[in-house]
Amino acid sequence: MDESQPILQMTGIVKTFYVRNRLQRVPVRALDDVDVVLRRGKVLGIIGESGSGKSTLANIIMGLETPDAGTMLFDGAAVDLHAKRSSQRALRAIQVVFQDPYSSLNPRMRVKALLREPLRHERFDRSQDFVQRCVSLLEMVGLPASALEKYPHQFSGGQRQRIAIARALAMNPKVLVCDEAVSALDVSIQAQILALLIDLKERLGLSIVFIAHGLNAVERISDDVVVMNLGKVVEHGPAGVVLQNPATDYTKKLVEISRDIVPFTLVPGEGGVPPRTEVLAAISEAVRVVPASRRTWRRKKW
Ligand code: ADP
Ligand code: MG
């Protein structure tokens, strides 16, 4: 195996959705000829405001959406993006962690059962091996063995996200896709989950696609960064270069806006909270990069 070969390579990905307005079905180009490379054992951050196509790309990587065009190479081999992924190796090797563990973890199942689900294809099931495997998965994400008998609601948001990560790890993935996985967490908890992901990357040699609309988390964790706007990649390169020295106005705005706003939300005591109008003005200024005609069709999510 060639270690320098990327673990994941998406080329020329196109995806159009059709959205109904009052009169007709209007095409929305969610992804427009997108090329993305995830290096082996590295973290690729994907940033861009809401509606820029980040989740659509993640869904295509995971086989949850089918693109109109484009190719995917996983570990050097072509993945058929139109075939049912269940028949393919890539399904198990690419696992996902979403923003809201409440919707991805069945509230009626104990952690033991939640971890059993992905392991049911393995021979461990119900045996001693199975319990040991669960305990080691929990240990990997920093939870005690006693967590096995508990239900999701008995944990904090950060702990629930750890369970979601353990569940993803149960499949021994090579790639972890985190779609806004820390976006709903408090900043201090966010930092702990980021530290966990960095640890897993190093210990397990995981490669990670880390999607977030907030730049701070992406900056902490990413080796490389992709910046997306309206379904197109506007920048792709080493994190330090893209975020410290952006080449496009769009990235400059994104960086500016996050630097402006985040300190206020982080430390409301210091210097006071800015008037709401000031924050909104900063946001609308940043959003002005987007042509108004395209903006109308984007769902607002954050
Ligand atoms: P992001 O994750 O960056 O916020 P998305 O990938 O969710 O962006 O969305 C990209 C664009 O595609 C948006 O305009 C969104 O409204 C549209 N879109 C995404 N999923 C669907 C869908 N299932 N049906 C129609 N439009 C969609
Ligand atoms: Mg999204």
Helices (H), 69-222: 89-93, 101-104, 111-119, 128-140, 157-169, 187-204, 215-221
Tens-digit pLDDT profile for the chain (302 aa)?
677 899 999 999 999 999 998 889 999 999 999 999 999 999 999 999 999 999 999 999 999 899 999 999 999 999 999 887 665 666 789 999 998 777 778 999 999 999 988 777 666 556 668 888 899 999 999 999 999 999 999 999 999 999 999 999 998 999 999 999 998 899 899 999 999 999 999 999 999 999 998 788 999 999 999 999 999 999 999 999 999 999 999 999 988 887 765 444 434 444 444 444 444 455 544 444 444 344 444 444 44
Torsion sign across C-alpha atoms 50, 73, 140, 87: positive
Chain centroid to CA 159: 18
User: What would the pLDDT profile of 256-269 be if each residue is shown by its tens digit?
Assistant: 887 765 444 434 44
Q: Whose CA is nearest to atom 14 of ligand 1?
A: 298
Q: Chain-centre distance of CA 209, in angstroms?
A: 6
- Tell me the residue type at 68: D
Q: Describe the strand order of the beta sheet including 8-20 as a list of residue ranges.
A: 25-38, 8-20, 69-74, 77-79
C-beta neighbour count of 276 within 10 angstroms: 8
State the DSSP string of 227-250.
Answer: EEETTEEEEEEEHHHHHHS-SSHH
pLDDT for position 93 = 92
pLDDT attached to residue 83: 80
Domains of the chain with CATH codes: 8-295 (3.40.50.300)
Q: In the structure, which protein residues have their CB atom closer than 6 angstroms to any atom of ligand 1?
A: 17, 19, 28, 30, 48, 50-56, 297-299, 301
* CA separation for the pair 54, 68 (Å, rounded): 16
Contact 231, 29 (CB under 8 A): yes
Q: What is the pLDDT of residue 122?
A: 64
Cβ atoms of 182 and 194 within 8 Å: the answer is yes
CA 60 / ligand 2 centre spacing (Å): 13
Residue 214's pLDDT is 79
CA-based torsion, 285, 287, 293, 297: positive or negative: negative
For 57, the token pair is 């790309």
Q: What is the pLDDT of residue 91?
A: 74
**16, 19, 25, 28: residue to mutate for ligand 1 pocket, most atoms within 8 A of CB:** 28
For residue 270, what pLDDT is reported?
Answer: 41
Of 17, 29, 52, 229, the residue with max ligand 1 atoms within 8 A of its CB, to mutate for a pocket test, comes to: 17
Q: What is the pLDDT of residues 270-297, one digit of tens each?
A: 444 444 444 445 554 444 444 434 444 4
Nearest to 120, CA basis, from 157, 94, 92, 88 = 92
The ligand 1 atom at the shortest distance from the C-alpha of residue 297 is 14
- Pairing mode, strands 43-47 and 224-229: parallel
pLDDT for the residue numbered 118: 78
